[in-house]
Amino acid sequence: MKPVPGILNIAPYVAGRSEAPVRGPVYKLSSNETPLGAGRNAIEAFTAASVGLNLYPDGSARALRQAIAETHGLEAGRIICGNGSDEILHLLPQIYAGPGDEILFSAHGFLVYPIATLAAGATPVVVPEPDLRTDVDGFLRHATDRTRIAFLANPNNPTGSFNTSAELRRLRAGLPEECLLVVDAAYAEYVDAEGYETGAALVASTPNTVMTRTFSKVYGLAALRVGWAYAPAGVVDAYERVRGPFNVSAPAQAAAVAAVRDQAHVAAGRAHNSRWRNWLAAEIAALGLKVHPSVANFILVDFDRTGPRTAAAADEFLASRGVIVRAVSSYGLPHCLRISVGSEEGNRAAVAALAEFMA
């Protein structure tokens, strides 16, 4: 059988590499994973849940939704949980868009957005991204009466830039009323910049905004695939009708409950990231490379477009030294590499390898 039209036009998502052709230490700085790992409480909760592997999980994720609500001061009834925030990002276009509809996202936005758009049969509308920052005015210029969803990552991956609360509100006010604004705040816990908001307040004050979050980053639960969203009641109702009946496993729910209540571990991750992100940016800039400002747990580094010091050459050289970073040509940035903030050893190894490459 042939897939429905459009499916084979989708470029599969390609994750960052995870292996290097070396003997000795390998530092994986390609996937924006926290170097602190999961917190002790989350690990203990995950282990304890192993005694009930023969039982189906709570399909409503009630305890997890309640823990998220209590931690963030939200309404539990407006929280939905998913198999990573990716599941939520995939299902929203299937719920609200289809052939003839349009979905907006930024030129260097998360690769899941075009995949989810095309899978729903909708038309992707790519908004140019001057200065590697989501352009609110560009979104508004590209919006039409066919626009059903606008995806905005805040902070954005892989650029590390963010949009202010005022910009989000201006965007929401200017989009068509029937357009759902989806604020993907996967890296929200790392942001310490003035003027930033996660999107939760906008969800609370408008009927057509969704904020998505994840446990894969600062909480260190990437392997368990747990995400959540804060949404209007109508969106919650529609999502609950189409999601898988047991989409978040019991061990994942248990670990996430413990993780979201362990805000001391979050604070430790945030502090580590702030220190070493700034250090990485300063050290790499001192090598003569352009480092784009970032509020997330990674930095984006520019290399020469031609010659011996291209991003592709740097990527291979770093791998030969046991440092794995992320090529971002699939994001339309072939001249850049994204480097995640890692452990102290990993960060120092990355700078040393880059210094050798640039020498």
Q: Residue 60: CB partners within 8 Å, gap ≥ 6?
A: none
Query: Which of 1-10, 53-62, 113-122, 269-278 is predicted with the least confidence, judged by mean pLDDT?
Result: 1-10
- Pair 327, 315: CB distance under 8 Å: yes
Give 117: exposed, middle or buried? Use CB within 10 Å, 0-12, 13-18, 19+: buried
Please list the helix, strand and coil fractions of the chain in percent, rounded to the nearest 5, in that order: 45, 15, 40
- On the question of pLDDT at 14 being above 90, the answer is no
Q: pLDDT class for 18, splitting at 50, 70, 90?
A: low
CATH 3.40.50.300 is the classification of domain 41-262: no
Numbered ranges of CATH 3.90.1150.10 in the chain: 14-37+264-358
**Number of residues written out for the chain:** 359
User: CATH homologous superfamily for 14-37+264-358?
Assistant: Aspartate Aminotransferase, domain 1 (3.90.1150.10)
Numbered ranges of CATH 3.40.640.10 in the chain: 41-262
- Pair 207, 188: CB distance under 8 Å: no
DSSP 2-58: PPPTTGGGSPPP-PPP---S-SS--EE-SS---TT-S-HHHHHHHHHGGGGTTS---
- pLDDT tens per residue, range 197-242: 999 999 999 999 999 999 999 999 999 999 999 999 999 999 999 9
**pLDDT, average across residues 252-266:** 98
- On the question of pLDDT at 145 being above 70, the answer is yes
Average per-residue pLDDT for the chain: 95
The pTM of the full predicted model, rounded to 2 decimals, is 0.94
| Distance separating alpha carbons of residues 150 and 172, to the nearest angstrom | 10
- On the question of pLDDT at 182 being above 70, the answer is yes
Q: pLDDT class for 339, splitting at 50, 70, 90?
A: very high
